[in-house]
Amino acid sequence: MTTAVRTIDLRSDTVTLPSPSMRQAIANADMGDDLLGDDPTTKRLEAMAAERMGKEAAIFVASGTMGNLVSLLTHTTGRGEEVIAGHMAHILQSEVGGGAGVAAIQIRTAHNDERGRLDLDEIRSLIRRGESASPITKLVCLENTHNFCNGAALPASYIGEVAALARENGLALHIDGARIFNAAIALETTPAELVREARSVTFCLSKGLACPVGSLICADHEFIDRARLMRRMVGGGMRQSGVLAAAGIVALEEMVDRLADDHVNARALAEGLAKFPQLKVDPHLAQTNILFATPVGIDGGKLQAALKERGVLCSGALGRLRFVTHYGIERGDIDAALDAIKDAIGSFS
């Protein structure tokens, strides 16, 4: 009889399963019609989210991609307008071109460094005001933590500098804070401090916080009122959404502090991977729960397949292998994954 090999799934923190207390909260959720303003659990989650972000109000949406899209629709009026975002931004790389395809806006790119930052002078040089038939710049977008830039956390001091530049030029600042709690843990601060200067912020419940579904947009009351219309326009209006919001409440109450464990595990994984000459990894860039390894002298796709055969899942992204730690991954899994990686690399020699 063959014993099944445990799968160590490091593809993303979106693969998390809800905790037992989340499942109980879902079963017992008090619900009503959210589009009619009658769902008490969704209202409670939105109030909690706004408080955590230091904003006046919040709206529950189905996903981070929807949250960013609704935010773009709310910030802009559409055709002939543009936003500035990093060339590695999730909003540009992984949201199916929603800015152009749905919001009818242009995204102009600034260069992200390995820490996810944009150069202030470059941002300034990219701002356009509609002269000589150019688009009109309306918004600057930052990402925190920055997914494709090694899960880097942007500090409040830097965000404040970008916000000041935006204000000087009559622009708003939006933060894609899908993993803003990871950033706050890594920087030993609060999410509210990190987004204080932004007009709007999104954050995900369905990543490190381990909910099955959902994200939130937080901003002032005027912005959120318009965002409710934009959410409905893109088909995001939900009815008895309290069945999902209940898990989000548990996430905010119970799942934030444990993100520090994911960071420790990611650093241990990065240090282990850095010992293999066939993988280029800088452990110092493993600031949160995301890390990348660049294959050297071996085919990344074949290595990914070899790891899958050994029960370790990772993802491929922009020519690199991506590993993400999360709820459900323990230190023993990191050690087992490193053993499997060693065996897989050895199989190529």
pLDDT digits (tens, 9 = 90+) for 256-292: 999 999 999 999 999 999 999 999 999 999 999 999 9
Tell the residue number behind the tokens 């949201």, with chain if given.
95
pLDDT of residue 318: 77
Burial of residue 188, with CB atoms counted within 10 A of its CB: 0-12 exposed, 13-18 middle, 19 or more buried: exposed
Boundaries of domain holding 335: 8-15+258-346
What confidence category does residue 4 fall into, taking pLDDT thresholds of 50, 70 and 90? low
Q: Is residue 266 part of a domain?
A: yes
- Residue 1 resides in a domain: no
Q: Once rounded to an integer, what is the mean pLDDT over residues 87-101?
A: 94
Contacts of 277 (CB under 8 A, 6+ apart): 296
Please check whether residues 177 and 298 belong to one and the same domain: no
Number of domains in the chain: 2
326 and 292 in one domain? Answer: yes
In one-letter notation, the amino acid at residue 192 is: A
**Same domain, yes or no, for 169 and 192?**
yes
pLDDT bin (cut points 50, 70, 90) of residue 1 is: very low
**Per-residue pLDDT tens for 161-196?**
999 999 999 999 999 999 999 999 999 999 999 999
- Read off the CATH number of the domain in which 328 is found: 3.90.1150.10
- Tell me, what's the pLDDT at 64? 97
Only one residue has tokens 């919040």, namely: 58
Q: How far lies 261's CA from each of 29, 64, 106, 328, 331, in Å? A: 29, 23, 39, 11, 9
Is 2 inside a domain boundary?
Answer: no
190 with 287, same domain: the answer is no
CA angle 171/230/252 to nearest 5° reads 85
pLDDT at residue 2 is higher than 50:
no
Residue 210 near residue 19 (C-beta atoms within 8 A): yes
pLDDT at 133 (0 to 100): 84
Q: Judge whether residue 3 has pLDDT over 60.
A: no
Pair type for strands 136-143 and 106-110: unpaired
* 24 within domain boundaries: yes
The verdict on 302 and 238 lying in the same domain is no
pLDDT digits (tens, 9 = 90+) for 119-135: 999 999 999 987 878 89
Last residue of one domain, picked from the residues 211, 237, 254: 254
Q: DSSP character for 229?
A: H
pLDDT, the chain, mean: 95
Q: Which pLDDT score, from 0 to 100, does residue 347 have?
A: 87
Q: Band the pLDDT of 317: cuts 50, 70, 90.
A: confident
CATH of residue 246's domain is 3.40.640.10
- Residues 55 and 156 both lie in one domain: yes
Assess whether 141 and 273 both reside in one domain.
Answer: no
Last residue of a domain, one of 209, 236, 254: 254
Question: pLDDT of 51-82, one tens digit each?
Answer: 999 999 999 999 999 999 999 999 998 788 99
- Judgement on whether residues 39 and 135 belong to the same structural domain of the protein: yes
Distances (CA, A) of 215 to 62, 204, 275: 6, 4, 37
**Residues 132-163: tens digit of each pLDDT:** 788 999 999 999 999 999 999 999 999 999 99
- Strand, helix or coil for residue 71: helix
Q: Of 207, 235, 254, which one is at a domain's C-terminal end? A: 254
Q: Which residue has the tokens 């955590």?
A: 52
**What integer pLDDT is reported at residue 80 of this predicted model?**
85
Same domain assignment for residues 103 and 180: yes
Q: Which helix (DSSP H) or strand (DSSP E) does residue 235 occupy?
A: none
pLDDT at residue 6, as a whole number: 82
74 with 174, same domain?
Answer: yes
Q: Which of the 8 DSSP states describes residue 291?
A: E
Q: How many CB atoms lie within 10 A of CB 338?
A: 18
* pTM (two decimals): 0.95
**Based on the domain organization, do 221 and 286 belong to the same domain?**
no
Same domain for 67 and 184? yes
Q: Up-side HSE of residue 212: CA atoms within 13 Å toward CB?
A: 15
Q: Above pLDDT 90, what percent of the chain?
A: 92
Higher pLDDT, 130 or 114: 114
> Would residue 131 count as lying in a domain?
yes
